[in-house]
Structure 1
Amino acid sequence: MNTLINRLYGDYLMPSRLPLYEDFVRAASEAGYAHMSVREYIAALRGQGARPAHKVVVHRHDIDTDLRTARKLFDIEQKHRIHASYYFRLSTLDFALMNEIEEYGSEASYHYEELATYAKRQHIKDPAAIHARMADIRDEFARNLRVIEERFGRKLSTVASHGDFANRRLQISNTEILKDPGLRERCGIVCETYDRALLDHIDMYISDRPYPQYFRPLSPFDALGRHARICFLTHPRQWETNWIENSRDNLFRLYEGVSW
């Protein structure tokens, strides 16, 4: 019962937490942290850009739902002249917003989930059966990425795996798709956000969480000064309620759970 009450509060009653996000951006800047997108940070690590700052916050936004709040996050970052990465699912692609993000100097890219999508579409619940179809799943990823790039008119070099309830049931992450070096080379993927090439250069990885936890494993404010290289993963849904989007997503999640 508590879980349901917490979910209802977080989805429909929670006051906007966007001022807190702006407070964190301001506090990190005042503490001497640079703010970078995933693409910028990876380029710096590879010696292809400015040397990575001693203290840095790498901002990753996963746009699972709620483009309205994603836009508000972007507005805050423009106000404070910082950069971030925004990863859009097929269901949240907004090429106008994505182009604004890129033209500003931040990164807009792909939040992929072909493994989970394939499993649900084909009604597959056996992990071995999914592994047997991995070639088809990888081909689907490559096709989707190519279509996005063609419509976007830009090359995408970093991508981020989406976590779906189907992945949890199968106990297989969507990152399994990119465990094929040939696929990465063919698609021009420089980094997946769970690659060791990125995570080995992060001292503290923080993700936002639903009410009442808010952050895991600790508040980003508490990380400032204690950790030099912070990756901060956020989702618009955790920062402001959007009744229409949350209701639509909850109903679709229920439908998928029943139909799968």
Structure 2
Amino acid sequence: MNTVMNRLYADYVMPSRLPLYEDFIRAAGNAGYAQISVRQYVHALREQDPRRQQKVIVHRHDIDTDLRTARKLFEIEKEYGIKASYYFRLSTLDFALMNEIEEYGSEASYHYEELATFAKKHDIKDPAVIHARLGDIRDDFARNFDLIEDRLGRKLTTVASHGDFANRRLELSNTEILKDRALRERCGIECETYDRSLLDNIDMYISDRPFPQYYRPLSPFDALGQYARICFLTHPRQWETNWIENTRDNLFRLYEGVTW
């Protein structure tokens, strides 16, 4: 019962937490942290840029749902002159917003999930069958990746795996897709956000969580001063309620759970 009530509160009642996000940006700036996108940090690592050793917040937003709140996050960041990465699913692609993000100097790229999508579409529940079909799944990824680049008119260099309930049931991450080096080279992907080459250069990786936890493993405010290189992963849904989007997503998730 508590779980249901917590979910209802988080999805429909919770006051906006966007002022808290603004407070964190301000606190990080006052503490001397550079605040940059995943793409900027990857380039800093590759080029031996001094920022790779300085105090830095790498901002990553996964746009699972709720473009309205995604834009609000972007507007806050513009006010403070910081940069971030926004990863859009096929279901949340908004090329007008993505171009605005890129023109500002932040990053708009792909939050991919072809492995989970393929499993649900073809009613596959056996991980061994998924491994046998990875060639087809990678073809789907490449096709979608190319379509996004073509529509956006820009090169995508980093991507982020989405986590779906199907991945948890299969015990297979969407990152399996990009274990193929030839696919990465063909698409020009420099980094997947769960690559060890990136994570090994992060001192603390923090993700937002639904009410009542809010953050894992600790509050980003508490991390300031304790850790030099912080990656902060956020999702619009955790910062402001959107009744229409949350209801649509909840119903679709229920439908998929019943039919797969």
Short-chain TM bin? over 0.9
Task: Show the counterpart of 1:64.
Answer: 64
Map residues 160-239 of structure 1 onto 2, 5 A cutoff.
160-239=160-239
Structure 1 window deviating more from structure 2 (79-88 vs 45-54): it is 45-54
Q: Where do 5+ consecutive residues of structure 1 fail to align?
A: none
1:246 aligns to what? Answer: 246
1:5 paired to 2:22: no
Partner of 1:152: 152
Contact 1:34 1:53 in 2 (8 A): no
Distance 1:94 1:124 in 2: 30
Q: Give TM-score scaled by structure 1 length.
A: 0.99
Q: Following TM superposition, where does structure 1 have runs of at least 4 consecutive aligned residues deviating by more than 6 angstroms?
A: none
Shift of 1:214: 0.1
Q: Contact conserved, 1:40 with 1:49, CA < 8 A, in 2?
A: no
Would the alpha carbon gap of residues 50 and 145 (structure 1) be closer, same or farther in structure 2, given more than 3 Å must change? farther
> Once the two structures are superposed, what CA deviation does each residue of 1:41-82 show, in whole Å capped at 9, x if it has no partner?
000100076643510000000000000000000000000000
Q: Which runs of 5+ in 2 are unaligned?
A: none
TM-score (norm 2): 0.99
- Match of residue 54 from structure 2: 54
Provide the C-alpha distance between the structure 1 equivalents of 2:163 and 2:45, rounded to a whole number of angstroms. Answer: 26
Kindly provide the amino acid, as one letter, of the partner of residue 151 in structure 1. R
Aligned length: 260
Q: Relative to 1, partners in 2 of residues 1:217 and 1:54: Cα closer, same or farther, differing over 3 Å?
A: same
Structure 2: distance between partners of 1:78 and 1:52:
23
Q: 1:49 to 1:94 in 2, by over 3 A?
A: farther
Over the aligned positions, Cα root-mean-square deviation in angstroms equals 0.9
Structure 1, residues 83-119: CA drift from partner, whole Å, max 9, x if none? 0000000000000000000000000000000000000
Identity among equivalent pairs (%): 80
